[in-house]
Amino acid sequence: MNKFMKATGVVLAASMAIGLAACGSDSDKSTNGESTTKEKTNTTETAGSTETKADALGYTFGEDQTFHSDEPVTYSIMFSDNEGYPYKKDWRLWSAIQEKTNVSFDLTVTARTEYENQKTLLVNSGDAPFIIPKTYDESPFVAGGQIVPISDYVQYMPNYQKQVKEWGMEEDLKAKLKDDGKYYVLPGLWEVAGGGYSYIIRKDVFEKAGVDVKANEGSWTYEDFYDAMKKVKDFTGAKYVMSDRFKGESTLNIAAVEYGVTGGWGLSNGLVFDHDQKKFNFADTTEDFKSYVTYFNKLYKEGILDPESFTQEDDAALAKFYKGDTFVINGNYQNLADMMTKMQVADAELYMIVQPGGPKGQLQIEASRLENGVMISQNALKKLGEEKFIQMLRFVDWLWYSDEGHTLTLWGVEGETYSKDAEGNIKLNPDITFNGLNPTAEKKLNVDYGFGGGVFAYGGSAKLKLSKMSEGEKDYNDRILKLREPRKVAPPIMGSADDSEEMNLISKPLMDFVKTMTLKFITGQADIGTEWDSYVKQAEANGSTRYTDMANEIFEKTKSKLGY
């Protein structure tokens, strides 16, 4: 009943799910398949309804109610094993979920670095666990028919429906729709967007170099940020001001937003949606893209940006920053909290700046309130049958979409890992550290207890988001909301399976070419002045116009479904 591990190649043995419209059930061979006849509280199956009725379900569920099965059940689930807090069979997380719900997991534990490959293998082979969390892009799995169109079943998920309605998520969820008007993943839902990645700087050094960071960051552009880094270089005489981590992917991504192009982690298909013209444009051959790569080439040529930024591992970049050899590095606020404990320079003051603006304005980077989500395998529906499938969905609904489930998976057990003050605010126990809170504590919430991990702990209310922030992170998020303009979310390209296949065949080599040339332009291996026209022609030969035309043709056919 409480199986926790089984070996499958690179897999050890551990999973999750999400949607917009309606249906579901229970467990596999290790689950008692018999339904009990005890009367339980039920919820009428209409969106947003909390009307209760008695029904012989054998479990309790409902909006703001704890899911609990009368009989023990086990659900198979994939688990992405993060090397920063590696999987433990005896984590309090597992027993806490089981105590609340009478549900345990049959885990397919896979190393984080192999998770996407293993997910693809299991789904395509028809052997996927019931619950498949940590899914960033469900599109490749839709055509194969192995994933449940979860929007057909979300009417059975009262907590999910409550969040969608109360937080106004309907427009956000349109981004997940496919050509059949359905969606296939239950995304993490945030009441408010997050601050995301930016630049962590040595504020003490910038100020000594004559840069008033707080006075300037509200309005500065990337060109202004260049001027500031140039002052730091002149003042310190350092070989480089910035040596980046993530192989430059995060920096290229957040800068691309301000230039109206795509790059780095957000390279995607190169398309940007023009909300005024209501059409897609291929952004990565435009003059805006030329300005974007020219900017980074300037940083590279003038010795501001370390050439190793695009090839080195994160530890190498961090070591330079810790020693005081460099003064700017990309990261999120969790990274900053960890870095403050490892600095080797006395009195170093770290500060996360609001991301600089650019030609397209002073824009917020994080436009979506959706996070990675949960797919549900067709195996769950086939093996459980509809009634037990719906029961499983109601467990998923509680774990990933109720306030109680959010609090449990993020903070743990009240009285054991956290307490609440008179106003109901969560206070992490002083002997436990997490996310920059209690930095000198010996125990770690994620490492030692399993709470606060990336498989379960995402999505939630604004209050929950704030609960895990230090005062510094709250200040960072407040600055973003105050100083930057929100962006509209681009509509999805709701192509058919055939359309998607044709577009993927174009996109893969096209964007591989764009990515290669981006780095060549930045590092001077390709001359922007003399080789730009040939780059544009080659992108055209690789299908940039054909891809854009297809995207716009599909949008015209489907825009009514999206409210355009």
Helices H / strands E in the chain, number of each: 19, 18
The listed range with the strongest mean pLDDT (464-468, 499-503, 555-559) is 555-559
Tell the burial category of 235 from Cβ atoms under 10 Å away from its Cβ (0-12, 13-18, 19+).
Answer: middle
Nearest CA among 18, 11, 4 for reference residue 132: 18
Residue labelled with tokens 């028809």: 126
CA distance 502 to 272: 19
Closest CA relative to residue 87, chosen from 67, 60, 115, 62: 115
pLDDT digits (tens, 9 = 90+) for 222-241: 999 999 999 999 999 999 99
Our CA dihedral for 127, 130, 135, 140, rounded to 10 degrees, sits at 40
* Number of other residues whose CB lies within 10 A of the CB of residue 191: 17
pLDDT tier at 145, thresholds 50, 70, 90:
very high
pLDDT digits (tens, 9 = 90+) for 342-396: 999 999 999 999 999 999 999 999 888 999 999 999 999 999 999 999 999 999 9
Nearest residue to 112 (alpha-carbon basis) of 187, 10, 18, 188: 10
Nearest partner of 196 among 403, 531, 477, 558, judged by Cα? 477
Summarised one tens digit per residue, pLDDT across range 281-329 is: 999 999 999 999 999 999 999 999 999 999 999 999 999 999 999 999 9
Of residues 46 and 556, the one with the higher pLDDT is 556
* Dist CA 476 CA 519 (whole Å): 30
Q: What is the pLDDT of residue 55?
A: 56
> How many other CB atoms are there within 10 angstroms of residue 298's CB atom?
15
Average pLDDT over residues 265-278: 95
pLDDT band at 70 (very low <50, low <70, confident <90, very high): very high
Q: Would you give the distance in Å from CA 80 to the centre of its chain?
A: 14
pLDDT digits (tens, 9 = 90+) for 212-226: 999 999 999 999 999
pLDDT at 47 over 80: no
pTM for the full predicted model: 0.76
Between CA 294 and CA 300 the distance in angstroms is 10
Distance separating alpha carbons of residues 418 and 527, to the nearest angstrom: 57
Mean pLDDT of the chain: 89
Give me Rg for the CA atoms of the chain.
Answer: 25
What per-residue confidence (pLDDT) applies to 496?
Answer: 87
Strand 426-428 relative to strand 418-420, pairing: antiparallel
| Dist. CA 280–CA 148, nearest whole Å | 29
